């Protein structure tokens, strides 16, 4: 499984990672992240978020600057 290989590469214990995945230990946190992403209109990567606003896709510096200014 690719996720287990990623976990190992990151220095995590493979068996512990497999247990977390199979038991869905972080299910509520993952579901909350997905919900928040939908609320922000995330449809792709990269997505930049500041406050309650988001920009999807590669953006010029000026757009990122505006995102930060308007969400502050």
| Those residues with Cβ within 8 angstroms of residue 21's Cβ, 6 or more apart along the chain or in another chain | 1, 3, 4
The pLDDT, as a whole number, for residue 41 is: 86
Torsion angle defined by CA atoms of residues 56, 30, 36 and 34, in that order, rounded to the nearest 10 degrees: 60
What pLDDT digit, counting tens, does each position of 13-40 carry?
999 999 999 999 999 999 999 999 998 8
| Those residues with Cβ within 8 angstroms of residue 4's Cβ, 6 or more apart along the chain or in another chain | 14, 17, 18, 21
The pLDDT, as a whole number, for residue 54 is: 86
Residue 58: pLDDT band (50, 70, 90) is very high
The pLDDT, as a whole number, for residue 53 is: 87
Average pLDDT value over all residues in the chain: 93
How is the chain split into domains, by residue range? 1-39, 41-72
| Cα dist from 61 to 5, 25, 26, 64, whole Å | 35, 38, 35, 5
């Amino acid at each position: 499984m690719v996720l287990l290989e990623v976990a190992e590469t990151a220095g995590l214990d493979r068996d512990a990672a497999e247990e977390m995945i199979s038991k869905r230990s972080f299910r509520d946190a993952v579901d909350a992240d997905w919900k928040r992403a939908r609320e922000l209109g995330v449809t792709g990567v990269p997505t930049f978020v500041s406050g309650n606003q988001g920009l999807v896709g590669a953006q010029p510096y000026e757009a990122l600057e505006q995102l930060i200014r308007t969400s502050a």
